[in-house]
Amino acid sequence: MKIASILENQKIEKRIAVTPEIAKKYISLGLEVSLSENYGSHLGIKDHEYKDLGVSIFKDEKEIITNADVIVQLGLLNDDKSSLLKEYQTFIGVLNPYDNKDRISNLVKKKINTFSLELLPRITRAQSMDILSSQANLAGYKAVVESFANFEKAIPMMMTAAGTIPAAKVLIVGAGVAGLQAIATAKRMGAIVFATDVRMASKEQVESLGGKFLTVEGSENLETEGGYAKEASDDFKKKQEDLLSETLKKIDIVICTALIPGKKAPIIIKEDMIKNMKSGSIIYDLAAIQGGNTAHTKVDEVVDRNGVKIMGESNILNKLPTSASNLYAKNVFNFISNLYDKENKKININLDDEIIEKTLIK
């Protein structure tokens, strides 16, 4: 069985789906691996490192795609390359099916087995394949590093003969995987950390990392069965706004991570709240690509509102492509290992397996 991957559009995606470590694992499973020329060169991985393991390197991407049984990518191929896909091939990636309905529907009509990994169920057996968690962990860390780099004051408390510099106060909005990593990173760097989330289960996790959980009076637990946040009622939103308005007056840095799968990101930090923040404060919005959690977030721009800088990138993981690729490639390998019938050396689409049934787009 042949597994293949081609280079992504470098302007929007620097991660790769097959690292040398993982290529070796595929080959040990009995799979043939084909990659495009200079596949990992932008990450310092030379073609010979793959070739030495037994990977085939091709100049012609058309040849790679048409001869593959399984194609693994980060996102969808462009339309020209998608047209090369054939019946019964398997395509695996992070396909954003909510925004790419028509393009994915075309693949399904062509009888291409299309798997989108962000649809993985939140079950123990799927944890090693959970691309959302592995990538969000890195995003939460990097958001803190980026915002601290743009903050023009010291982060930890410093006591000197000339006086004391107070510790920076950080608020994390949304305590999912990215938010929890942001809390841990900010604490390690000496900040005083607060966090808020609509899921009450987050309180214990936030406090275990040394953060202070901001609780809305009469909170309702807004958590889906899959462990994601769901939309809040108008009453809850009003109480949350009042709490945030008061809190933001004393906050130096805000990291926004609140997302609702398949929907536009909720606007949590509104215009009047930003007006009340201290000049020189930073808001880093990890939800920028889905519209943002603030009233003024713009993708890949730094917006200045009354001295408050609002930042948000289309793909923050392009700033950590090596680490992100290592984790993503492992997630995908674990997914394919579950999908691969070693005895018959073929993909086995067993719809009784919850992992396969949930991620296969039908």
Active-site positions read 122, 127, 130, 133, 228
What is the crossing angle of helices 20-28 and 321-339, to 10°? Answer: 10
Contact between 278 and 305 (Cβ < 8 Å): no
CB 260 within 8 A of CB 230: yes
Q: Give the residue from 318, 252, 323, 311 showing the smallest Cα distance to 287.
A: 311
* Helical pair 177-188 and 131-150, crossing angle rounded to 10 deg: 40
26 sits in which H/E element: helix 20-28
The answer to whether residues 254 and 248 touch, using CB atoms and an 8 Å cutoff, is yes
| 228, 261 Cβ separation under 8 angstroms | yes
The residues near 315 (Cβ < 8 Å, ≥ 6 apart) are: 12, 13, 289
